[in-house]
């Protein structure tokens, strides 16, 4: 219980104006001033489980594509036209957008680790996932090598953490996935990858055909792993990924994939990240939310990058998923941007909830209705978030 009074005389320091005393059992556990946020809902800061801040300047830059492969080629061309100053500006813009919409933690896939040394302290809690691709080697300059090495040493402040992200089964070899597994277990880092995103990726692995297959062949990717399995089956059955991974997309799953997941003990499955806005932009096959939910998979939401969605608002992402899957209650949607991603990042109890011992990452949004409709009111919130605390510091 917390008892508030206009003045609190503690006899343990000066009197406190507008103070409160927190009681647990028969003991006082905290005494201090009250910050009254008034007619607001106080809730945990939101966690974006998948984002590419590098591309925050590409909002509406690429028209909705007919083919996923054409989009990949288009963004690769756009990337070549930009320099490091553009990317640094993009990352800062992305951070501002995250904060605007109440996001206090983000899983960011970083394609330019060498930029890290030139970035100031992260304004929100950030997992910097080092993007790994070995289909076509980047031309490595001394700068890139030095930057990559300093990537994991660079800890601008306590809000930075690191992870590894082999890009996708069509751009990263099984060997690279194994290397990432070994490295992550030595350094206790989370792992994430894109998998089973598009029909073209599915056709490449299942049928050894289609536009992505042709494109990858033209890049001299060895294609012997194509023509039998599914993208998920390709990674899962070879042990390249396991239950600790955050698997982003998972749109094109077959019965045999669900079977692999069903063989796991309930709740021991991998973490799956769905990006509703990006999913809609690409018109991917329907995301099997219900099936994965019934299998006990830990479902999280991400925004993906501004190159394939309109904003970095997780409120918007919750609404988009809720519109397609009306059986998902607002409370469940909110879990996908709080406790579920906290669990995926192995920060259960520390992030995504307001409880003793948790980190002070909090946001407030207006409370227009009664307590009975509070989850719905949160999901429907559609304005910039006006109050935010990260790591105990008020920042908006
Ligand atoms: Zn992505």
- For residues 123 and 113, give the distance between their C-alpha atoms in angstroms, rounded to a whole number: 18
- State yes or no: pLDDT of 152 exceeds 60: yes
Look over the chain and give the mean of its residue pLDDT values, rounded to a whole number: 92
Ligand 1: distance of its center to the CA of 380 in Å? 25
pLDDT tens, 161-217? 999 999 999 999 999 999 999 989 888 899 999 999 999 999 999 999 999 999 999
At 74-125, the pLDDT tens digits run 888 888 888 889 999 999 999 999 999 999 999 999 998 888 878 888 999 9
pTM of the shown model: 0.94
Same domain, 24 and 53: no
| Mean pLDDT computed over 147-162 | 73
Q: Determine the distance separating the centroid of ligand 1 and the alpha carbon of 103, expressed in angstroms.
A: 17
Q: pLDDT band for position 159 (50/70/90)?
A: very high
Report how far residue 229's alpha carbon sits from residue 49's, in angstroms, rounded to the nearest whole number.
27
Domain of 68 in residue numbering reads as 42-344
Query: Into how many domains does the chain fold?
Result: 2
What whole-number distance in Å separates Cα of residue 368 and Cα of residue 378? 10
Confidence class for position 72, pLDDT limits 50, 70, 90: confident
Distance 268 CA to ligand 1 centre (A): 24
Domain shared by 111 and 9, yes or no:
no
Q: The domain that contains 178 carries what CATH number?
A: 3.20.20.140
CA–centroid distance, 309 to ligand 1, in Å, is 11
Q: Among 132-136, 176-180, 243-247, 331-335, which is the least confidently predicted range?
A: 132-136
For 53-67, 117-131, 162-176, 265-279, which range has the lowest pLDDT when averaged over its residues?
A: 53-67
Pair (123, 25) in one structural domain: no
Q: What is the pLDDT of residue 262?
A: 95
Residue 388 lies in a domain: no
Strand order in the sheet with 298-301: 192-195, 246-249, 271-274, 298-301
Classify residue 191 by its DSSP letter.
Answer: B
Q: Are residues 29 and 67 in the same domain?
A: no
Task: Quote the ligand 1 centre to 8 CA distance (angstroms).
Answer: 51
Same domain, 86 and 159: yes
| Residues 145 and 287 reside in one and the same domain | yes
How far does residue 50's CA lie from ligand 1's centre (Å)? Answer: 6
Query: Is 100 exposed, middle or buried (CB count within 10 Å of its CB: 0-12, 13-18, 19+)?
Result: middle
Give 35 Cα–ligand 1 centroid separation in angstroms: 38
pLDDT of the residue at 128: 93
Structural contact between residues 48 and 303, judged by C-beta atoms closer than 8 angstroms: yes
């Amino acid at each position: 219980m917390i008892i508030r009074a206009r003045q609190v005389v503690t006899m343990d320091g000066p009197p406190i104006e507008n103070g409160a005393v927190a009681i647990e059992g028969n003991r006082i556990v905290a005494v201090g001033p009250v910050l009254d946020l008034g007619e607001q809902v106080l809730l945990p800061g939101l966690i974006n489980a998948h984002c590419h801040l590098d591309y925050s300047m590409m909002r509406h830059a690429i028209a909705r594509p007919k083919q996923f492969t054409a989009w990949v080629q288009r963004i690769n061309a756009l990337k070549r036209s930009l320099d490091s100053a553009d990317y640094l500006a993009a990352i800062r813009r992305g951070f501002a957008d995250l904060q605007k919409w109440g996001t206090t933690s983000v899983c960011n896939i970083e394609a330019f680790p060498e930029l890290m040394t030139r970035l100031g302290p992260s304004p929100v809690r950030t997992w910097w996932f080092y993007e790994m691709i070995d289909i076509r080697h980047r031309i490595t300059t001394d700068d890139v090598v030095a930057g990559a090495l300093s990537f994991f040493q660079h800890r601008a402040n306590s809000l930075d953490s690191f992870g590894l992200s082999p890009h996708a089964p069509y751009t990263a070899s099984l060997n690279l996935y194994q290397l990432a597994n070994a490295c992550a277990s030595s350094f206790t880092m989370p792992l994430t990858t894109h998998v089973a995103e598009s029909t073209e990726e599915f056709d490449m692995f299942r049928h050894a055909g289609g536009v992505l297959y042709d494109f990858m062949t033209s890049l001299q990717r060895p294609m012997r792993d194509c023509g039998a399995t599914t993208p998920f089956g390709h990674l899962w059955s070879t042990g390249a990924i396991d239950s600790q991974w955050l698997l982003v997309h998972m749109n094109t799953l077959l019965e045999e994939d669900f079977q692999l997941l069903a063989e796991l003990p309930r709740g021991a499955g991998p973490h799956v990240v769905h990006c509703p806005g990006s999913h809609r932009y690409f018109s991917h096959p329907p995301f099997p939310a219900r099936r994965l939910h019934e299998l006990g998979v830990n479902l999280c939401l991400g925004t993906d990058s501004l190159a394939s969605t309109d904003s970095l608002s997780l409120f918007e992402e919750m609404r988009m998923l809720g519109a397609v899957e009306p059986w998902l209650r607002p409370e469940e949607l909110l879990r996908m941007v709080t406790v579920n991603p906290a669990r995926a990042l192995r920060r259960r109890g520390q992030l995504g909830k307001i409880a003793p011992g948790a980190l002070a990452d909090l946001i407030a949004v207006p409370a227009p209705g009664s307590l009975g409709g509070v989850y719905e009111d949160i999901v429907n919130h559609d304005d910039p978030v006006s109050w935010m605390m990260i790591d105990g510091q008020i920042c908006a």
